[in-house]
Structure 1
């Protein structure tokens, strides 16, 4: 079996980690796996990880650099326009930049001759050139839409192109039922033609034997006192992830709980903007921005609370991992998250963009430690239904089945 994984990304995040896991698992199954993505600084670290795993990398200049900020939406949702303009409206018209993307992908496909292609999309209308190239050669193609936060209003020509490609040996996949519904509505295809494979977390979490010692070590490394309570957020510093509506809550919380510190893991395009906002609210001492970290399991076990104030998601790996490690969770009611977490059963759910709601939820969590621990235990059981092992098995089985159509 010869597989090619294409990622039109320029930064390393959940989509890229997901692709790496799929590539490693396929390689362990004795597949010949190649991975292609744009050679940009923000994702270069992935090349080393692929090489170490014996996976070949091919530069493919199909970079989709940003999420567009202005497009048409249906009149039904005009009340959401302020958020949509800033956050989640993709390009709906055909972009001429897709044409060179088509030819670059075509040349790579002709060179590698894969039995099956997997295209992993961080945004719904990214990668169209590659999707069309696979359709043109009728190579069995598995397209994973990691994020479709809102039904798109696609132009007629774009819809026709997607429909043409979809009917040429392609299987489209969403990562939650909410995600699949948005794919069906956006691309105007029947729901039964969209498969659902939930993202999964590593359930066999590597728990340290001495949690107290780990908590002490992490706090020492971060120059924090032993009694510090850590509210951890693991997410890219982007508009999507909701750091902006967490910030107004922090001064009130740290005043009431002086021992509380917020620790942010991740990097991104909004870093400077968020740092300025922290200065404006005079809370630079209360928030530690750690950037990219490779020791997230240690941080999850050392923290007291996982705060994930995202505006929209497909099915977030970071949240699933926090649940797997037994860390109490406060997150938003959006997209696929309520499919995993029931409010006050597995964690606390709050309205997205609502700083007051977030403030009260974190305050309640800190005042109700024992109840939050019970929810965390429930979440550890719940997340077993969303295991990494299950995700990888279903994905490879579908890729194998799809390859037989070649």
Structure 2
């Protein structure tokens, strides 16, 4: 059989049960990698399978529910071993540290030819102490990994400078999105505003992301009273679910802005929600390379974002949006007010963002580069 006709078995392994940017990243690869080169399997928690069931149903993907998040879960770890034994993958692709920690040694011990990790950005929770802060375990586990994909230049720098991973073991493949789904001017946003009883003239700020500490919602809420003082009809539209739902609701009440905040929960039609927003805000404390920034830019929305990790690689300060320091409510408020007070500037940023992401962050580019890396790594195994 010729090289072009070989179909490699590719197993994706994820440990999070929540559907977020990383999970969308993996799903996009499953949807768009060429089926003439690969057959697919996905091993992940059953909650994630349920969250993605509509998309997975239409894909030729073998799905294995498993919750192997660390080595203390010996039953789940043994289950993952059985999955690898059953599917016999040529390539195991792990996403995030916990997946690599468990999945890479199992795949290596079972002689899987190629083991890939996608590194989505620094783990801010891993600070201090010999075990957490020095990344000794990361370097040990990396011995089981054939190659690491970094989703941004910032992520690659963190791997080399802090985790001390060799440069020749890292390839930067920036995140991408299927931009055909993100077309401004669909007028779907007016239906979203009507659904949540937002006046047509009210400014709408939007955050799309899990309600977790990393995403920085609490700092934007602290900025909101200052914004509402100048623009009282402002609405803050929060799209996403997470463990901080109750805490953020309580914070909004304490700050006196509860009536200005809309908790929309998890939503599938992200382009429509972006259309409803005037300004997209990313107040994150850390990011790999944020998909929301790509999607908002594709919808020609101006962005206010924190200058963390890979975000400046998508949001260009004073060109497609405004970058501010993380955990800085006053800076968030001032940046938002600048765009609300200057709609001409907001429009210019949105137009520039639209052009920028269509040049740099189309999904097909990410898929092509990932496929090329897989095939190169497999070819190296045959030498």
Question: Given the two structures, how large is their TM-score scaled by the length of structure 1?
Answer: 0.84
CA distance in 2, matches of 1:289, 1:273: 12
Query: What are the equivalent positions in structure 2 for 1:304-383 lying under 5 Å apart?
Result: 304-383=278-357
Shift of residue 100, structure 1, vs aligned partner: 5.4
The corresponding residue for 2:50 is 44
1:396 to 358, 371, 375: 371
After superposition, where does 1:142-291 map in structure 2 within 5 Å?
A: 142-149=116-123, 155=131, 162-163=138-139, 165-168=141-144, 170-207=146-183, 211=187, 214-291=188-265
Find out whether 1:33 has 2:33 as its counterpart: no
- Whole-Å Cα distance in 2 between the matches of residues 337 and 347 of structure 1? 11
1:344 deviates by 0.8
C-alpha RMSD over aligned residues: 2.3
In structure 2, relative to structure 1, the CA distance for the partners of 1:63 and 1:369 (3 Å cut) is same
1:86 is matched with which residue? none
Q: Which residue of structure 2 lines up, in the alignment, with residue 79 of structure 1?
A: none
Distance 2:164 2:184 in 1: 48
Paired with 1:319 and 1:290, the residues of 2 have a C-alpha distance of: 19
> Is 1:21 aligned to residue 28 of structure 2?
yes
- Whether the 8 Å contact between 2:175 and 2:289 is mirrored in structure 1 is yes
Shift of residue 187, structure 1, vs aligned partner: 3.1
Pick one of 299, 302, 319 that aligns with 2:273: 299
- Note if 1:128 corresponds to 2:101: yes
- d(CA) in 2 for partners of 1:115 and 1:127? 16
Moved more, 165-174 or 247-256: 165-174
* Residue of structure 2 equivalent to 1:10: 17
Residue 72 (structure 2) aligns with? 97
Alpha-carbon shift at residue 275 of structure 1 (Å): 0.9
Assess, with a 3 A threshold, how the Cα gap between structure 1 residues 307 and 159 changes in structure 2: closer, same or farther: closer
Deviation, 1:194, is 1.3
Q: Secondary structure at the match of 2:258?
A: coil
Given that residues 8 and 127 in structure 1 are in contact (C-alpha distance below 8 angstroms), is that contact kept between their aligned partners in structure 2? no
From 376, 379, 385, give the equivalent of 2:360: 385
Contact 1:184 1:191 (C-alpha < 8 Å) held by counterparts? yes
Report how far residue 313 of structure 1 moved.
0.2
Question: What is the alpha-carbon distance in structure 1 between the residues aligned to residue 196 and residue 253 of structure 2?
Answer: 20
CA distance in 1: counterparts of 2:274 and 2:293, whole angstroms: 11
> Is residue 305–residue 315 contact of structure 2 (8 Å, CA) maintained in 1?
no
CA contact (8 A) 1:62 1:127 kept: no
Q: Provide the rounded CA distance (Å) in 2 between the counterparts of 1:204 and 1:39.
A: 30
TM-score, structure 2 normalization? 0.89
Q: How far is the alpha carbon of 1:37 from its aligned partner?
A: 0.6
Q: How far, CA to CA, are the matches of 1:344 and 1:113 in structure 2?
A: 50
